[in-house]
Amino acid sequence: QVRLVESGGGSVQSGESLRLSCVVSGHMYSSWTMAWFRQTQGAQREGVAAITSDASATYADSVKGRFTVSYDRAENTLYLQMNSLKVEDTAMYYCAAGVGSIGPAFRFLLSEYNSWGQGTQVTVSS
């Protein structure tokens, strides 16, 4: 079983940066896809960025050029570097892990992931 624990959220001003971390423990899959999702109250959880074990990354249009997803194998940690934050980035951010290298068109489908973290809150003010 894979366990995911996020950290790094906080309150920042518009234009500032944050780096989210998601530590992976347990028996990780030999081939995998990991992703960051976010959710605001009353809204659907939406995909933000995803990366596969062969380093193929996908980004939502709303974060392209501002966010970078990466995975550190030595630390078993997924990162999300968020730059030029906007008020509309305010949300609870969740990391997720799925089995296998998911094709780009499906990486933001919730059903592709079977392990989820508890979330970390990001609040951006103007």
Q: Rounded to an integer, what distance in angstroms lies between the CA atom of residue 36 and that of residue 79?
A: 9
Residue 92 dihedral angles phi and psi, to the nearest 5°:
-85, 130
pLDDT of residue 39: 98
- SS3 call for 49: strand
Q: Please, are residues 10 and 18 in contact by the beta-carbon 8 Å criterion?
A: yes
Instruction: Give pLDDT tens digits for 76-126.
Output: 999 999 999 999 999 999 999 999 999 999 999 999 999 999 999 999 999
Instruction: Give the closest residue to 22 by CA, choosing from 68, 74, 72, 85.
Output: 72
The pLDDT of residue 29 is 87
Cα–Cα separations (whole angstroms), residue 89 to 47, 54, 75, 117: 12, 28, 27, 19
